[in-house]
């Protein structure tokens, strides 16, 4: 299952680099999003090295089906708008 990385979690002044907001195709409600909690998510970097950063889905975010994932380390800004894989 694929998800799109939308934004970092945080306020106007402080962003958390390892907390990421994701939108999953086919998930439009909070109830469906809560069913994904606990699954693993991974993001693979573009380029030669193909570095993979893994994390875990922590909670639903809002009422429109977005989810919040916590990664083991922070994602770069280039990750915004790219896809992550949910296992």
The confidence band for 28, taking pLDDT boundaries of 50, 70 and 90, is: very high
Take residue 34 and report the two structure tokens written for it: 């809560």
The chain-wide mean pLDDT, for the chain, equals: 95
What is the maximum alpha-carbon separation in the chain? 39
Q: Where are the domains of the chain?
A: 2-86
Helix (H, G, I), strand (E, B) or coil at 48: coil
What is the domain class of 2-86 according to CATH? mainly beta
Residue-wise pLDDT tens digits, 62-83 = 999 999 999 999 999 999 999 9
Average pLDDT, stretch 31-50?
96
| Predicted TM-score of the model (pTM) | 0.90
Beta-carbon contacts of residue 65 (< 8 Å; ≥ 6 apart)? 23, 24, 27, 28, 29, 30, 32, 33
Residue with the bigger pLDDT between 41 and 11: it is 41
Q: Per-residue pLDDT for 16 more than 90?
A: no
CA distance 51 to 59: 25
CA distance 4 to 23: 5
Q: What percent of the chain has pLDDT over 90?
A: 92
């Amino acid at each position: 299952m694929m998800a799109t990385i939308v934004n970092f979690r945080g306020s106007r002044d402080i962003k958390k680099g390892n907390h990421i907001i994701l939108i999953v195709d086919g998930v439009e409600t909070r109830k469906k999003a809560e069913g994904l909690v606990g699954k693993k998510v991974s993001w693979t970097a573009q380029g030669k090295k193909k570095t993979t950063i893994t994390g875990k889905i922590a909670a639903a975010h809002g009422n429109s089906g977005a989810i919040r994932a916590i990664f083991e380390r922070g994602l770069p800004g280039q990750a915004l708008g790219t896809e992550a894989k949910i296992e």
